[in-house]
Amino acid sequence: MAAYGEQAAIRLPDAAMEMDAIFRALADPSRRRLLDRLNERNGQTLRELCAGLDMARQSVTKHLVILEAANLVTTVRRGREKLHHLNPAPINDIAERWIHRYDRQRVHALADLKRALEDQHMGQTEFVYVTYIRTTPERLWQSLTDPSFTLRYWGIGMDSDWRVGSPIRLQWGPGQELHDIEQVVLESEPYRRLSYRWHNYQPEHAAIFGWSEETFAELVKEPLSKVTFDIEPMGGTVKLTVIHDGFEPDSEMLKGVSSGWPTILSNLKTLLETDETLPLPAEMTLDHEAPAAAPGS
């Protein structure tokens, strides 16, 4: 019953109750162990998570229910399997609300956990992120498809008619010209689901990060990925699930989006809930997916 109570709390538009659910979930060492297992290898089935643990399957299931209620774990269906993914969104929220308010030494463990959750890309082929936003499906859809919105929280404008097969042209800043960099709409169900092909590295990335011609030539060989936004109303809030997949293991692009999406989505959430935006990091001068340093540096 406690798990269902915590699940209800996370869906209420009350930041304090959301934080309570997260801290209660993290307080149990068995649940932290499950998070560690997912941090080591994301996207595991219940059977895989139970393997090697001194816990009964029923106990693992109960712990996962609490972690899902706190939004620390999310599930994605792949055929008949239900895969469990670590969701860095709540830890990112805790960091924004708490870490910078107190002496860093007092929250060193929490900061380490945040970094661990964000650094989960090794050997992975997809990025999954779930957040709850106090808004409507219609307004969230507008924020994903209206260039005037994306410029505010992302720093780039995204222009398209958002029909399947249509290109998505990008604007690198207010008043800049639009560029076609081979992003294409793959799925478009207004207010429910949006998916599009993600672009490859651009020459501007090489200039910003000092990549050699040889390094850039290797990076652009990576297969193109896709990003999907699933929108689900939850009473007075909307559940937004972002799945960015199609990567090869240890992809440099995956490393970049894994550190970039939390910043972008936190800014989106802040904009929709407060009509304000957070300052973008200085390194996000082009867009958010490029890694913070040249590979191998």
Res 294: pLDDT: 35
- Beta bridge partners, 192, equal none
Under 8 Å CB-to-CB from 123, ≥6 apart: which residues? 41, 249, 250
Res 194: pLDDT: 98
Return the structure tokens found at 293.
Answer: 């340093």
3-state per-residue secondary structure call for the chain: CHHHHHHHHHHCCCHHHHHHHHHHHHHCHHHHHHHHHHHHCCCECHHHHHCCCCCCHHHHHHHHHHHHHCCCEEEEEECCEEEEEECCHHHHHHHHHCHHHCCHHHHHHHHHHHHHHHCCCCCCCEEEEEEEECCCHHHHHHHHHCHHHHHHHCCCEEECCCCCCCEEEEECCCCCCEEEEEEEEEEEECCCEEEEECCCCCHHHHHHHCCCHHHHHHHCCCCCCEEEEEEEEECCEEEEEEEEECCCCCCHHHHHHHHHHHHHHHHHHHHHHHCCCCCCCCCCCCCCCCCCCCCCC
CA angle 239–241–246, rounded 5-degree value: 170
Res 169: pLDDT: 95
Return the structure tokens found at 53.
Answer: 């643990």
Res 263: pLDDT: 86
11/211 Cα distance (integer angstroms): 44
Res 243: pLDDT: 93
- Note whether 132 and 11 are within 8 A (CB): yes
Res 41: pLDDT: 79
Q: How many CA atoms lie within 13 A of 278 on its CB side?
A: 18
How do the pLDDT tens digits run along the chain, 297 residues long?
333 333 433 343 456 667 778 888 888 888 888 888 887 778 888 888 888 788 888 888 988 998 888 888 888 887 788 888 888 777 776 666 655 555 444 445 455 555 554 455 455 788 889 999 999 999 999 999 999 999 999 989 999 999 999 999 999 888 888 999 899 999 999 999 999 999 988 887 777 778 888 888 988 899 999 999 999 998 889 999 999 999 988 788 888 888 889 889 989 999 999 998 776 654 454 444 444 333 333
Res 78: pLDDT: 78
Return the structure tokens found at 129.
Answer: 């992120």
Res 30: pLDDT: 86
- Beta bridge partners, 74, equal 85
